[in-house]
Amino acid sequence: MTPMIFGSVPFEFLVSALVTILVVVDPVGLVPAFLAVTHGLPAKNRPQVALRACLIATAILAGAALIGNWLLHALSITLPAFRIAGGLLLFSIASEMVFGVRVTRQTETAEQAIEERVRNIAAFPLAIPLMAGPGAITASVLLSGRSGGDPIRLAMLLTVIIATMALCLIVFLLATRIGRLLGSTANMVMSRLLGVLLAALAVQFVIDGVKVAMGG
């Protein structure tokens, strides 16, 4: 007999998955980071970054929910190792933001350079590790394990992931308006300040990964 969705365990799983994924991804909290990493891009390119990042993050989290446990075991990769690697990569981006060494090309090939930058920024650091980072991947894998292979629960989890990424897209699109209101000077200051915050976040990723790896 098919279990009822409302007033039953599957509904409780839906609420648990929704709260967990929303808290871990934190769409609203990603807005400052989005403004910082897209600083210097034309306004027309920011929606492309937002959409591409959300699609990539959706694919990663959905994949983690469906085959995460199997893949990690198959590759002998631990989540602490993933957290450390993500932290080191994020720190490299943060250092560029702090010291203002991010290149803005103003040549005849600017459009091609911008398109390449759009793809790069969307994949890293927005999709990985800010949106689909170790925490979100871990949550997806754990929630998938709690589903016990039930197709209804898995469908709920995938729906929650898609809905969360859709919310991310909405707030990112609104963030471009905020960027225009702030102006170039404010954006530059914000980029430096958020670079420091991202560097601290990157270091925290590494510390957490080392702690877990050492059994602390």
Q: What integer pLDDT is reported at residue 197 of this predicted model?
A: 74
pTM of the model: 0.69
d(CA 115, CA 122): 11
Tell me the Ramachandran region of residue 7: left when phi exceeds 0, alpha when psi lies from -120 to 50, beta otherwise.
Answer: left
CA neighbor of 45 nearest in space, from 193, 53, 84: 53
Distances in Å between the Cα of 210 and the Cα atoms of 25, 30, 79, 196, 206 are 22, 25, 11, 21, 6
Q: How far is CA 51 from the centre of its chain?
A: 12
Full pLDDT tens readout for the chain, 216 residues = 444 444 455 888 898 899 888 888 888 778 878 887 887 788 788 899 999 999 999 999 999 999 877 776 788 877 778 678 767 876 876 777 677 664 443 333 344 555 667 678 888 888 988 899 877 888 888 788 788 778 899 999 999 999 999 999 999 999 877 666 666 666 667 667 767 777 887 788 788 888 888 875
